[in-house]
Amino acid sequence: MSASATAHGMSEARVKPDWPALRLDEVRALLRHFDGCGEPIEILSTSPRPFSAASVVSTKTGRVFVKRHHRSVRDRDGLLEEHRFLAHLHRHGAPVPRIFATAAGETAIEMGDWTYEVHEAPAGVDIYEDALSWTPFLCLAHAYAAGRALGKLHRAAESYTAPPRPPRPLIASFTIFAAADPSAGLRRYLQAHPALLLDALTQRCSQEALALLSPFHARLQPLLPLLAPLWTHNDLHGSNILWSAAGDHAEAAAIIDFGLADRTYAVHDLAHTIERNIVEWLEIDADSARIDNVPIHIDHLTALLDGYTSIRSLSDAELSALAPMAALCHAEFALTEADYFAGVLHSDENHRVCVEDYLVGRARWMRGPGGEKLLQAIEQWALARNRRLPLATPQGVKES
């Protein structure tokens, strides 16, 4: 076993994990509830990703993926929201893993302070295992393949009609800027997250972000009635994909980690995928002086969107909404992370990073030359699609 002594933090530096790693005796007690998983033999890997503890485990019948959440983050009901969505996607052919159930049909198990889930370990290579969020794709072909996988997920999700999730920690919802009055939307959001409601720093930063982002909301608001609500992943980046091979031309074999999923819009999910993969935000974290010339991978943006629309076309309203949504989508994720650090971990510094550097810092960037370059590239791509110009397949990529 390679126990992870460090985890991904709020910057490129590794940090002490928020949650203890899974132990073999703990996994053994859990898997007794799952007849088909077999006796655990060895913990093969420990995920460096934050917010939970997760491992690939070797058992006598194969490999499984075990994930443990603190109940303050995900209780049984919260996990079942994700599991019902995953089960629907799996039944409808989306590239997602199967969830194991007990003999009684339970997929979320509460034991003490923890809530557990057990997934199949899909065949595939974890090319981006050690990559932080906001790490760009390694090549154009990966961006194109990720877009195709997201398109398949959205097509499978179109027939899923569950309502939006209730307020919970660590959910990438879209409610503040979905409101006709974002100030009222913000008030409702903060009232549902008590750890943020009376915090002066959150209040100040939220108001500043609202002011900075108001022009994008003005562009998006008339389009929202024309967008069909959709359950979405909201966190698609290279390390939430398992790949068919280790090479540059690998296909996206499976999409994993649906913790941030909620009922939003297809373009909200696409916007998050752009935000996660196209701008090298970590360069700004390392050197704030680079804010106006941080690398933006426009070629990857085009490949991602072309891959997506090779599977699922975008309506005229979606094409028009994508750029302003890309400017707005980070706001609620910044706040849900702030809520996690303030209300669950009680980390003042990480909470500050979420509201000052993430919520406000990226809102400022969107109003500057970097944001203008990104949003213009999205608009130019959308204009070409609106004119129904032929899709371009990156060189060397084979359609599947």
Tell me: pLDDT of 376 over 90.
Answer: yes
pTM for the model stands at 0.92
Q: Given 3-state DSSP classes, what are the helix, strand and coil percentages for the chain, each rounded to the nearest 5?
A: 45, 15, 40
Instruction: Judge whether 122 and 97 are in contact, CB under 8 Å.
Output: yes
Q: What is the pLDDT of residues 165-192, one digit of tens each?
A: 999 999 999 999 999 999 999 999 999 9
Residue among 281, 285, 304 nearest 294 (CA):
281
Q: What is the pLDDT of residues 233-268, one digit of tens each?
A: 999 999 999 999 999 999 999 999 999 999 999 999
Q: What is the pLDDT of residues 20-41, one digit of tens each?
A: 999 999 999 999 999 889 899 9
pLDDT at 389 (0 to 100) = 45
Around Cβ 330, how many Cβ atoms within 10 Å? 24
In whole numbers, what is the pLDDT of the chain averaged over residues? 92
Name the residue with tokens 């994008």.
Answer: 216
pLDDT at 333 (0 to 100) = 97
pLDDT top residue among 90 and 129: 90
Q: Band of the pLDDT at 2, cuts 50, 70, 90?
A: very low
Tell which CATH classification among 3.90.79.10, 3.40.50.2000, 3.90.1200.10, 3.40.50.150 matches the domain 140-386.
3.90.1200.10
Instruction: Judge whether 193 and 343 are in contact, CB under 8 Å.
Output: yes
Q: Band of the pLDDT at 388, cuts 50, 70, 90?
A: low
Euclidean distance between CA atoms 327 and 236, whole angstroms: 17
pLDDT top residue among 66 and 35: 66
| Alpha-carbon dihedral 325, 366, 190, 176, rounded to 10 degrees | -20
Pairing label, strands 40-46, 53-59: antiparallel
The share of the chain scoring above pLDDT 90, in percent, equals 83
Euclidean distance between CA atoms 125 and 129, whole angstroms: 9
Euclidean distance between CA atoms 215 and 154, whole angstroms: 28
pLDDT at 1 (0 to 100) = 37
Q: What is the pLDDT of residues 45-61, one digit of tens each?
A: 999 888 999 999 999 99
Break the chain into its structural domains and give their ranges.
7-120, 140-386
Note the CATH architecture for domain 7-120: 2-Layer Sandwich (3.30)
